[in-house]
Amino acid sequence: MIIKKIRIENFGKLSDFEMDFKSGVNTVLENNGWGKSTLASFVRVMFYGFDGDSKKKGVREKERSFFKPWNGGAYGGSIEFKAGDKDYVLLRTFGATVKSDSFDLRDAATALVSDDFTAENLGYSLFGLDSESYKKTSYIDHTGIKYEGVGSDVSSKAGNLPQGEDIAAYDGAAALINNYLNTHSPTRATGSLNRKKKEISEMTVFVSGGDKVDENITFQKTRLDELSEKELRLKSTRKELDDEVKAINKDRERAVNHRLYLDKVALKDSRKKDADELLFKLGGSIPDDELCTRAERKLSELDSLNAKAANLVDRSDDERFDRTCAECREKIERTYDLLDEKYAEKEEAISVFSKALSAAKRLTVISIVMMAVAAALFGTAYYFYKFKNLYYIGGAGVLFIIGLVLLIIGLSKKSRASLNLETAKNMDFSYMEKDIENAKDRIRKTEDEKLYLQKAYIEEKEALSEKGSFICDDINSLLEKIGKDKGPRVYYRESTAGARSFISDIKVDCATYRRMDKDYDAAKRSCDEFLSVHPGADEDPHFDENAAGERLSEIEKRGAQLLDEINETSAERTSCKAGLSDLYEKSEEINAAKETLLVAKEEYESGKEKYLVAEKTLDYLTEAKDRLIAGYMEPLRCSFERYYDILKGDDAPKEGDSFIIDANLNLQKKELGAYRSIESLSDGISDMTGLCMRAALLDVMYDVEKPVIIMDDPFSNLDEENVKWGYRFLESLAQEYQIIYLTCHPGRAVN
């Protein structure tokens, strides 16, 4: 196959470009950025289409977007080519998607549309390869020259290659040593030993002027060190002052937090005390609201019954009964008057002695209470203060003694009053009571007549009274439960206002207690939250605000002085450093060069010794390999070796046979006694093997109809010596292939 002409309307940065091609090597020599890679991509896209059309975007944009014309216009072009014995003209334009592309293939002789190929199978039909396999053989991009194996298409097309066995570990070792010799050659311009020798010579001249530079900067360097040390001392002192200020402020903050915490604790304790006092008043627990509601309903029922009893009237009243009873009562009254006088005397005596007895009992009770209080004070002093509070102990002792004295006096008075009271109670007035009893008998007889009339009144009154008693019992039972035996009592036909007021007060106290308990919980949570945010706030830091203020004032004055001294020292040091920077930098470069020179000399001697050993080893391995590899993988191997030896040059060791190609078309190089992947080779060697392997594959894949080879600067990683032999490589290929060779370097151009 031969490409005769390329015409680009617009593709990437290329616009209105046209070029004719001939058999053999066609060189395109242009500067970097002209569009050589774009031209190579144009040829591939014309035959295969864009790579990214059916794939997701990767690191690089889709090719369709990447090569979109920079200046607009028609996107595409044409290629005139010969395949077999027929000439064709291919025109393609590209849109935003595959569907918007156009494809026009015509017979060059008749200008008629040809259906020999389609847009989908053009490249595959011409070369027998898909796009990926094409890029691994006849399309050689300078960024992908290295051989990385081939696809199934190449394997199938090269399936007539002979099979063979591995060559043990000779090739790997020979390739590694050969690569080592090329890399470290003492005579080649690119050899590491040669470069190292030149480097040693240059560094020797450079370091010879170091002594004079060191003498010129020694004095100023010493002065700069003195200023730096002084500045560091001043900054260190200032930092110590700053750290002290931070410590004082931190202590102050701890003191403030401690005061705030104490306020919160005081509020919590106050609320707890108020709630406990109210709970004590309520008897230690909150009564059930249902009890209060039931008691209020019962009180309403009792009020209704009392109103009914108040309206009850006794209809048995009669003057006759009253007159008879009045006469008898008058007699009884006269007798009673006399009896009253007697009883008054008796009662007066009883009253006097009863009062004396009551006073003695009260005195006894008071003394007992005082002694109990004294015992309570003793218990408090032990429980809370372990008898360390003398006020409690002294007060309790005095109170106990007074109570004991009062108890003795009270018991003595009680004994005398009891004896006198018994005597007064034994006075007898029974004879006068007998007269009164007779008068009463008459009254009873009179009243018997009245009883019948009063019966209905009494029965109704008793019924009301009985019912009222039952209701009062229920109410009193409820009040005892509500007030913990401290509540008032209600009675039939008496006011219920006291009980109602008591229940109302209890309900108010219950609501108040619940509110107080919530307030206490809130205050307790506030204390806990504050302590979690400010750990250690419960500990007193013993912070002295006055002393801290005085110390901060002293630090501020001293800090200002230090700052002035630091600024003066820093300015002087900056001035000194500016004057020394050039000399000091020069001195550092010379000192570094001295160390590098010493290391370089050691490395050179060591590398030279290794190089000599490697040369001898390679001779032995090459001789052994030559005896083993004869006749193995002949078609492909021979072709690869021929091309590789051409690239290496006439003067270089023949290394083409240090590679092995297996039946899967994988290429390995023998190094250090093992077959290794060519990925481990240097860029130059990798490019050389890639070029040779592609050329060898093309030789065995195509017998008659040879494809066009596109090379985009394939020798960019080769040294000058190998580039010279690269021209012979191209000349050899050009005998059977058309080559489009693109480069930017005049020294790598082929005439």
Calculate the alpha carbon distances from 71 to 8, 17, 66, 95 in Å: 13, 14, 13, 15
How far apart are alpha carbons 375 and 380 in whole angstroms? 9
Cβ-based neighbours of 234, under 8 Å, separated by 6 or more:
562, 565, 566, 569
The pLDDT value recorded for residue 16 is 92
Give the chain's count of helices (H) and strands (E).
Answer: 17, 12
Q: What is the mean pLDDT of the chain?
A: 80
Q: What is the residue whose two structure tokens read 């950025």?
A: 33
Residue type, 697: L
* SS3 track for 650-687: CCCCCCHHHEEECCCCCEEEEECCEEEEHHHCCHHHHH
Q: In this model, does residue 632 exceed pLDDT 50? A: no
How far apart are alpha carbons 490 and 504 in whole angstroms? 15
| Alpha-helical segments (H) within 89-151 | 122-127, 131-135
Q: Do residues 11 and 69 make contact, with C-beta atoms less than 8 angstroms apart?
A: yes
Centre a 10 Å sphere on the Cβ of residue 628 and count the other Cβ atoms it contains: 13
The pLDDT of 140-159, averaged and rounded, is 65
Q: Exposed (0-12), middle (13-18) or buried (19+): which is 84, by Cβ within 10 Å?
A: exposed
Please, what sign has the CA dihedral across residues 12, 14, 15, 20? negative
pLDDT tens readout for residues 454-511: 777 777 777 878 888 888 888 788 777 777 777 788 887 788 888 788 888 878 888 8
Decide which of 312 and 20 is more confident: 20
Residue type, 374: A
pLDDT tens readout for residues 429-441: 777 778 778 877 8
Q: Do residues 355 and 424 make contact, with C-beta atoms less than 8 angstroms apart?
A: no
User: What is the total residue count of the chain?
Assistant: 751
The pLDDT value recorded for residue 159 is 46
At 698, is the pLDDT very low, low, confident or very high (cuts 50, 70, 90)? confident
Three-point CA angle 441, 443, 449, nearest 5°: 110
DSSP string, 318-359: -HHHHHHHHHHHHHHHHHHHHHHHHHHHHHHHHHHHHHHHHH
Question: Cα 444 to chain center, whole Å?
Answer: 104
Angle between helices 289-310 and 497-533 (to 10 degrees): 170
The pLDDT value recorded for residue 629 is 42
How far apart are alpha carbons 357 and 105 in whole angstroms? 145
| Alpha-helical segments (H) within 67-151 | 122-127, 131-135
Cβ-based neighbours of 526, under 8 Å, separated by 6 or more:
264, 268
Q: Do residues 439 and 332 make contact, with C-beta atoms less than 8 angstroms apart?
A: yes
Strand partners, 711: 140, 741
Average the pLDDT over each of 33-42, 292-301, 625-634 and give the range with the smallest value: 625-634
Q: In this model, does residue 103 exceed pLDDT 60? A: yes
Nearest CA to 84 out of 652, 748, 707 is that of 707
At 168, is the pLDDT very low, low, confident or very high (cuts 50, 70, 90)? very low
The pLDDT value recorded for residue 9 is 93
At 75, is the pLDDT very low, low, confident or very high (cuts 50, 70, 90)? very high
Structure tokens at 741: 């060779």
